[in-house]
């Protein structure tokens, strides 16, 4: 079947099978490899994209259901060489290590910041329940968001001391 949708603000008409997932369509038909497959069962969040502004696990979202929808992937968040403020902050704040989970986190956090301009640390963590990071232990990701919204990290940052003095 053919479907027509907007992907990163560009209209696309794609020929797909009814049982294909949005993730498969993005990676195999549209060449958008930034959205990752980590588990294929909606557990790890590496495949997160926005459908009409809502975060979904694209590995368990059927492509055919996106007919007429606006899909935003990681590729649509930066423009050329220009990163979004969130992306820059994640880099500066130590929120990127192996980076495999990063597209999913960027997408979900982008949606969060549209919904709430000043989320608390626990609201951020709650919003990230469907995203696993195995490298960072989450703290520096959460702090990057807080640095963006509040201009400061949590007090924990000051807890990194070396030989008795602040780092």
Partner 1 sequence: MEFRTVFSAEEALETLTQEGIQAKILAGGTDLVVQMKRKEIEPGVLVHIKRASDLKEILSSDTTRIGSLVSHADLVDSKLIQLNYGSLANAASQIGGWQTQVIGTIGGNVANASPAADLVPPLLVHGAIVHLASKRRRRSIPLNEFLIGRRKTALAADELIIGFELEPKSKHSADKYLKVGRRSAMEVAIVGLAIRMTLEDDLETISKIRIAVASCGPKAFLADSASSILTGMRVTSTLISEAGELLLTEANPVDDVRASATYRKRLLPNLLGRAIVGCIETIREAEKGR
Partner 2 sequence: MIGASVVRSDAFVKVTGRAVYGVDYQEINMLHGFLLRSPVAAGRVIKLDISIALGMDGVQSILTAKDQPSEMAGWVLREQRLFASEELRYEGEPIALVIAKTYDEAKAAASSILLEIDEWKGVDLVAASTTNARIIHKNWKSYVPTAGPNADYPRDGNLACETKSNAVGVDVAFGQATKIIEDKFCSNRQYQAYLEPKSAVATYVNGQFTIHTASQHPFNVRERVSQFLGVRISSVRVIGKTIGGGFGGKLDAALEPYAALAAKVTGSPVKIMNTRTEDILTCPSRENALITIRTALNAAGEMIGRDVVVDMDNGAYSTEMPWLASLPLHILGAIYEIDGPTRITSRLWYTNTAPTGAFRGVGGTYLYMALERHIDNIANSIGMDRLEFRLRHLIDDGAVSHVGQILPDAGILREGFNEIQKVVSWEETVANLKPFQGVGIASGFWLTNPMPGQATVKLNEDGTVSVITGATENGSGAVAMGVRQIVAQGLGVDVNDVSVSMPDTDISSYDAGSQGSRTTHIVGRAALNASTEVKRQILEQASNLLEVDAADLQISNSLISVVGSPSISVSLGEVATNALWAVGPITATSSYTTPPISFDPGCASGLLFPTFPTPTYHVHLAVVEVDPVTGGVKILRYVVVQEVGKAINPDAVRGQIQGAVAQGVGLTLYESLRIGKDCRYLERTLENYRLPIALDVPDVEIRLMEHPDECGPFGAKGAAEPAIVFVPAAILNAVSHAIGRNVTSIPLTPECVLDLIERES
Does residue number 142 form part of the binding site for partner 1 (CB under 8 A)?
no
Nearest-angstrom CA–CA distance, 27 and 25: 6
Count other Cβ atoms within 10 Å, centred on residue 63. Answer: 24
Q: How far apart are CA 28 and CA 33, in angstroms?
A: 8
Least distance (Å) from partner 2 to the CB of residue 93?
Answer: 8
List the x/- string, 9-28, binding to partner 1 by CB under 8 A: --------xxx-x-------
Closest CA to 35 of 50, 22, 43, 46: 46
Residue 34 sits in the site that holds partner 2 (CB under 8 A): yes
Query: Could you tell which of partner 2, partner 1, none binds residue 116, using a CB distance below 5 to 8 A set by kind?
Result: none
Do residues 117 and 54 make contact, with C-beta atoms less than 8 angstroms apart?
Answer: no
Interactions with partner 2, residue window 41-60 (CB under 8 A): 41, 43-44, 46
Strand partners, 14: 3
Interaction partner, residue 135 (partner 2, partner 1, none; CB < 5-8 Å by kind): partner 2
Touching partner 1, residues 43-102 (CB under 8 A): 43, 45, 48, 54-57, 60-62, 64-65, 67
Q: Is 116 in the site for partner 1 (CB under 8 A)?
A: no
Binding of partner 2 by 136 (CB under 8 A): yes
C-beta closer to partner 1: residue 42 or 94: 42
- Distance between CA 112 and CA 110 in Å, rounded? 5
Nearest Cα to Cα of residue 74 among 51, 97, 107, 42 = 107
Q: Of 7-15, 85-93, 95-103, 120-128, which segment contacts partner 1 by CB under 8 A?
A: 120-128
d(CA 92, CA 127): 21
Q: Which is nearer to partner 1, 34 or 45 (CB)?
A: 45
Please state the closest distance from residue 107 (CB atom) to partner 2, in A.
9
State the Cα–Cα distance between residues 60 and 58, nearest whole angstrom.
5
């Amino acid at each position: 079947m053919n479907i027509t949708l907007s992907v990163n603000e560009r209209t696309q008409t794609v020929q797909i099978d009814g049982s294909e997932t949005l993730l498969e369509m993005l990676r195999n038909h549209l060449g958008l490899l930034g959205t990752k497959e980590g588990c294929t069962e909606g557990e790890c969040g590496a495949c997160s994209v926005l459908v009409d502004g809502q975060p979904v696990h694209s590995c368990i979202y059927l492509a055919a259901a996106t007919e007429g929808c606006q899909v935003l992937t990681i590729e649509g968040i930066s423009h050329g060489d220009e990163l979004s403020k969130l992306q820059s902050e994640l880099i500066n704040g130590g929120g990127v290590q192996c980076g495999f989970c990063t597209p999913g986190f960027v997408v979900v956090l982008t949606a969060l910041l549209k919904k709430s301009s000043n989320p608390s640390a626990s609201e951020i963590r709650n919003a990230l329940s469907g995203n696993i990071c195995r490298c960072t232990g989450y703290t520096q990701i959460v702090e990057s968001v807080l640095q963006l919204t509040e201009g400061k990290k949590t007090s924990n940052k000051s807890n990194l001391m070396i030989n008795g003095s602040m780092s």
